[in-house]
Structure 1
Amino acid sequence: MAKVITYGNFKGGTGKTTNSAMMAYMLSKLGYKTLLADLDPQANATSLYLRTKQRITNDVVTFNKTLMSAIADEDLSDIIIEIKENLYLLPSFADFTSFPLFLEKKFPDSQLGRVTFLKGLIDKIKDDYDYILIDVPPTLSTYTDSALLASDYTIIVLQTQERSLIGAEAYVGYLQELIDNYDANFDILGVLPVLLKNNSKVDEATLNTAKEKFGEENLFKNLVKNMERLKRYDIIGIVDSDLEGKHDIHDKRVMALYKKVTEEMINRLDEIESQKKD
């Protein structure tokens, strides 16, 4: 059964989409059957993965239905597509902006019914995957509530700047509210630092502050460095030297970095799971 992980921060532009997409990609390379669920109406993760699929297979994907129509039919599997071996996408569409209104109409008298509806749909497909990673908007919203209440874990993505740190702190407070209000059952898997600028004193100072606020043991030891190559992937799709037979050192560095980060995520998860059994 899949472990469901939501990536979050209330500050936009921290790298949630990039990191959830790259870590899902790396999980698939490590042999885990992985689904990236794009629960952000902006659909940036969807665009990245469709470009990646086109890069790998030369296929241009068309859909017969949208995420909202799949939700209305209560069957997410209808629109899940394979990107490559072991990697799948639950795509988002512009009409997903109507999700909160849909829930209000479906559950006019039950806030709990609204925020747990998506969990029921995700639970139906959990047996099909080893991991389900969820990308959500950087807002306190129905999307984030629904994703977190469907999750086993959350990763806080922290860009090394003051506003991102404030957003991360607000996110942690919000997580506690969900636990208190809905008896939510998820754990924080860790805080993933994303460097705004490599070898910067400001970044280093923000990291030190984050260690004080969250505890050094809760920060990923492997940092996501600022890599210009990642920005290109939004335009051309993820470049995988192993699949394409190319040997570009920059692409190899990206994959090497995310291999370390993803393996640390797996180790963190295994540690928490073993502690639960004890």
Structure 2
Amino acid sequence: MTEIIQTFADISDRYDVAFVDLWGCMHDGVRAFPDAVAAMQGFRAHGGKVVLVTNAPRARGPVEAQIGSLGIPDDAWDSIATSGDSARAAMFRGAVGRKVWFMGEKHDRSFFEPLRIIEEPVEIEVVELDQAEGIVCCGPFDPHADPGVNRPQFLYAKQKGLKLLCANPDMVVDRGGAREWCAGALAALYTEMGGESLYFGKPHPPIYDLARRRYGALNGALDDPRIISIGDGIHTDILGAQQEDIDSLFITGGLAAKETMTGHAPDPQALTTYTEREMVHPTYAIGFLR
């Protein structure tokens, strides 16, 4: 049964490293959550390591700049693993061909910046759909539009047998008080229509492999660390932890605030009903990271 806790400090001494989600956990897309920042600073002050593990469809550098602008200071984390970096590695190895149709907003174009860790990378060219060998999806063109607006393009792509590389498996995020669609919703639609989607972020293994490598590169990293995964996505952060056989802390005041009836803390019965319905079982739960 999931244990409801009051603060991360209640359990933090049981772990060496925290794999921490960003959006909905450390910030809301507009500003950082001060209590979450303080919790990670406190964990690090007592010897813990923090690897920010995010489904952001961008490289580590742009994510670092973004979170700094939102108010997350450098002393709240040790390293960053992004879905974007994991997916970029696959793209530059030719997972969806050389000529790709790009889905996303202007700021997602950093996805195509060179990735130096790949030897002899494939030279990628962004083209129109009728010339494409595959699809790179960092998100919708309009995050407020229903994913169904892409059905005509997806039908054409499916008929051509194009694979879709999904750089962000998240279905939705809440930016401030507004909900937005993510690349995961488009990939789910494409799969539903009979197309093939490739995933690299949470809850899929590649990003956890990357997070472990990021942790391993830190000074003082242990060979067999005690890991806890923290986040608000039941089918990304928590399911991913369950599949990796690591403990998890579910932030119920994020995407599942309504379902878990979270005020200061989740309602125990609502939390149990929700997790049983979703068939995902976090080790711990808390209303907000603090």
Greater share of helix residues, 1 or 2? 1
Higher relative contact order (CA 8 A, sep 6+): 1
| Fold match (TM-score > 0.5) | no
TM-score by length of 2: 0.34
